[in-house]
Amino acid sequence: MTIRHLKVFVAVCKEGSITKAGKRLFMAQPTVSFAVSELEKYYGVKLFDRISKRLYLTDAGNKLLPYAQHIVSMFDEMEAGVKNRENNSTLRVGVSITIGNCLLPGALKDFAARRPRVDVKIKVDNSEKIEQAILDNRIDFGLIEGISHSPQIVSEAFREDKLVLLFAPGHRWEAQAAVKPEELKGEPFLMREHGSGGREIVERALLLHDIEIEPAWESISTQAIVRGVINGFGVAVLPLLLVENHLAEGTLLTRPVEGVSLKQKFFVIHHKNKYITDIMQEFCDLCCAKKS
């Protein structure tokens, strides 16, 4: 078994086809098929089921894939480092939506000034999808809200932020110093989609008070939620970092919720088998150092 075998296997998994993998690797179809057969013979397992001219990963194939992806990735990184090509390398970064809005732009600008020859690819999505992208080796590391749920991922907290209850001026809560947890029941909540780190924190905190929220709105866009609250369509809980300007302007109001802790941490995450290059560390440090 060689790196070549693993590269072929990863390509076949990605393309879902022997023919397409061969085109991607500039290899003849029989050569790709033979490499897969050699890999199956080496491990004594079947890696693909071939049904109606389509390939489906077996359980053994699913177990091998994440290892193969990371071995191939580490080999490519090693070659880039040994051949001194890092200044021309590509950096793949995933960030959650709050971090993408508030911390990423400044860090990206600073990094581009330091490393103009590094091509930075950015994926902005919810925390759950960033985590999955790391497991699939589609990004090098991520910056997310909330904790990771995979034992394959290493997490390191770098910042804490508050989640705040938001409502429009004129809401009955404006006359109150604080909101009781039971007052949240029945309120139309505008919430992020499932997979959002912030939403998970809110739901977990409220369940401790036997409060389960059924959202009136669900959106991947925090700006849509903000506009909805401003226009009186409901209330929301969002990161303070995202709404400080609206609170300062008075277009949104906030009150604490009695006895409910609404804090969240931001984490740097990467696969436990990922080799962290100097360039990766430098970009990560710039993001972590940003205040807003």
Question: What is the total count of domains within the chain?
Answer: 3
The mean of the pLDDT values for the chain is: 88
Does 110 lie in the same domain as 253?
A: no
DSSP 200-222: HHHHHHHHTTT-----SEEES-H
In whole angstroms, how far apart are CA 277 and each of 69, 81, 91, 131, 203? Answer: 17, 9, 10, 19, 37
- Which pLDDT band, with edges at 50, 70 and 90, does 81 fall under? low
What is the pLDDT at residue 89?
78
pLDDT in tens, 20-44: 888 888 889 889 899 999 988 999 9
Cβ proximity of 125 and 92 under 8 Å: no
Does 8 lie in the same domain as 71?
A: yes
Q: No. of H helices and E strands in the chain?
A: 11, 11
Does 138 lie in the same domain as 282?
A: yes
- Given 60, 82, 104, the domain boundary residue is 82
- Given 49, 82, 115, the domain boundary residue is 82
pTM: 0.67
Cα separation of 51 and 116, whole Å? 47
Number of residues that make up the chain: 292
Does 137 lie in the same domain as 180?
A: no
When comparing pLDDT for 277 and 228, which is higher? 228
pLDDT surpassing 80 at residue 221 = yes
What CATH number is associated with residue 116?
3.40.190.10
| Residue whose token pair is 């941490």 | 265
pLDDT in tens, 135-176: 888 899 999 988 888 888 999 988 888 999 999 999 999 999
Does 106 lie in the same domain as 182?
A: no
- Could you tell me which of 164, 166, 216, 206 has the C-alpha nearest to residue 182? 206
Cβ proximity of 265 and 127 under 8 Å: no
- Which pLDDT band, with edges at 50, 70 and 90, does 53 fall under? confident
In whole angstroms, how far apart are CA 270 and each of 67, 136, 206? Answer: 14, 11, 29
pLDDT surpassing 80 at residue 217 = yes
Does 256 lie in the same domain as 167?
A: yes
Does 41 lie in the same domain as 58?
A: yes
When comparing pLDDT for 81 and 145, which is higher? 145
pLDDT in tens, 120-131: 999 999 999 999
Cα separation of 238 and 190, whole Å? 10
Does 241 lie in the same domain as 119?
A: no
Does 180 lie in the same domain as 134?
A: no
Cα separation of 40 and 276, whole Å? 31
What CATH number is associated with residue 27?
1.10.10.10
Q: Which residues contact 137 (CB under 8 A, 6 or more apart)?
A: 66, 69, 70, 73, 271
Print the domain residue range for 272.
87-158+265-289
pLDDT surpassing 90 at residue 78 = no
Does 279 lie in the same domain as 148?
A: yes
Does 221 lie in the same domain as 166?
A: yes
- Given 82, 117, 138, the domain boundary residue is 82
